Structure 1
């Protein structure tokens, strides 16, 4: 540990990191310069390595504890740590379980300033903030159309982006987004599209009378909740790396805690989490199987790259074109 330097752990950009971990009933600790988790087996204790240099988010579920030394190494590696209930939801910190999004973020102020400055240059202007929200919505739909058009597994499960009903819903979404004059118009349009996608997905898997409920015991709703929290972890990572505080939302309420995390997570939720929640519910998968499927989809479709690129583009959309000195290193 004498020669340990946090810079040694940051050779992998956050947008290229492959791992998110959810752990339960174990102890996370530092041992011999590595972060490990310890599980108690019947006859012996077992240690497993956590590759922190290639990890974005660590979620600690039921029955977990973590040492100060492990937290120090995770912070130096730029890993966000969150405490959650069973299966990754709801997400807690050390204070109030009623607040859904709270993270232990690595305390480094050596992060880029240009994206925060760009964000603040438009955020107090209602019309510019509305333009940023529209850019998010347009990016969200473009990503969904792109991924659903090329993902063979989704196509095999009936998620065909060319289905006439979907095409009509996408056209209405684009028209109403362009015509929106305030954020509430965008939120209504967003809700209408997501409701249509829920209905489309439920019909695809022959799930009768599906209704979206955040407090539910059916698998489709549970998987939606679970997958959404994984997306929140990636969104929180993106904003932390770019140095943009979570409170400066463009879609959700300006006074809502962590609202910008929701905005960024919404870029990918309908594209990745929604279809796989219904598919895995149809297959009667376990939470672990669903989580593995969603995390693999995140990796296959480079969702962190997409989040970083979208947030960076929106942050600088009102700036004069200029060369970004080392901007890519923010990822």
Structure 2
């Protein structure tokens, strides 16, 4: 097996690592990709296992060599430049993704997505599917996450059950995209109320520009989910503009659609828990990434997007 095939042996949906780096230099050395940090008395090199890495985010004070980019491209690693902390919006910068160039990337999922996207009814049905999968993932995560159970989260809670049943009923009765957006907003409001009451958080009002920890963590966690969603779509070759729910006029709208699959289950509870515990942004980010890994968030996104794209067609044997 040649080097290129070796590097792509692990599917992106099963890769374990996402890196955020700052104040370092990424380079190729002895056939490996390393990042170099400058310590007081010596330079320190750290290996990046690129065959098991999905995304590398380069933050403040970073640089990368052409040789390193070549190896990352061969391994199919998504490379992005971002603001400090890995949260572009809070740093007032826009992330720039650099995608490996290959004429042999599969088009199966793009063609499958476009086969239904231009039909209004089928596009609406895809939006409903994503919203239903969102609740299924929340129920799966909250039913088995011991840390959340220790915080008092319980799927059998009557208020939570009422909110989920009401959401399912309204999904079934929805007839247009505006109905989905309204139903989504009502569910999110109900989840906020449930979480705040469960952990005895106190007063809370969702304001994206606010600087209180709960709002900051929600913004930060949402962008982590957007990163996973963007990675899923990039690997499958589906442009981010082909949204099924959040509008056809926003270039990254499909990223928001796919991120919905995991935000409620993971980002929402941990934003409030970490805010209550006065955690740092780094501690919150590490908790989110740990939960993403434990509950296979990226793999779940891949499965849902592939299911929609294939629409019942058999999956071909392609290496992503």
TM-score by length of 1: 0.91
Secondary structure at the aligned position of 1:241 is classed as helix
Mapped partners of 1:286, 1:76: distance in 2? 36
Tell me if structure 2 keeps the 8 A contact 1:84–1:91: no
Tell me the equivalent position of 1:323. 314
The Cα of 1:283 is off from its aligned counterpart by 1.8
Shift of 1:102: 4.3
Unmatched segments (≥5 aa) in structure 2: none
Residue number in structure 2 paired with 1:80: 78
Q: Quick check: 288-297 or 15-24, which moved more?
A: 288-297
Q: Pick from 215, 223, 237: which aligns with 2:217?
A: 223
- Within 5 A, what are the aligned runs for 1:111-126? 111-126=105-120
The 1:134/1:164 distance shift into structure 2, 3 A limit, reads same
CA distance in 2, matches of 1:108, 1:272: 34
Preserved CA contact (<8 Å) 1:82 1:91? no
Partners of 2:73 and 2:99 within 8 A in 1: yes
Number of the residue aligned with 2:159: 165
Equivalents in 2 of 1:267, 1:40: separation in Å? 40
1:292 aligns with 2:303: no
SS at match of 1:129: helix
Give the aligned partner of residue 30 of structure 2.
Answer: 32
Which residue is equivalent to 1:253? 247
State the alpha-carbon separation in 1 of the partners of residues 113 and 215 from structure 2: 34
* Rounded Cα–Cα distance in structure 2 between residues aligned with 1:166 and 1:174: 12
1:86-129, CA deviations, whole angstroms, 9 ceiling, x for partnerless residues?
A: 2111269xxx956x564222223423222111111111111110
Q: Matches of 1:227 and 1:109 in 2, distance apart?
A: 34
Q: Alignment partner of 1:21: what SS?
A: strand
Aligned to 1:310: 304
Give the SS at the match of 1:103.
Answer: strand
Matched, 1:47 2:45: yes
> Does structure 2 conserve the Cα–Cα contact (< 8 Å) formed by 1:91 and 1:102?
no
8 Å CA contact retained: 2:82, 2:96: no
Deviations 1:221-253 (A, max 9, x none): 222222222211211111122111111000111
In structure 2, the partner of 1:152 is 146
Tell me if structure 1 keeps the 8 A contact 2:54–2:77: yes
Q: Mean alpha-carbon deviation: is it higher for 77-86 or for 135-144?
A: 77-86
After TM superposition, what 4+ stretches of structure 1 lie above 6 angstroms from structure 2?
A: none
8 Å contact from structure 1 (residues 158, 204) kept in 2: yes
Within 2, Cα distance between the matches of 1:112 and 1:275?
37
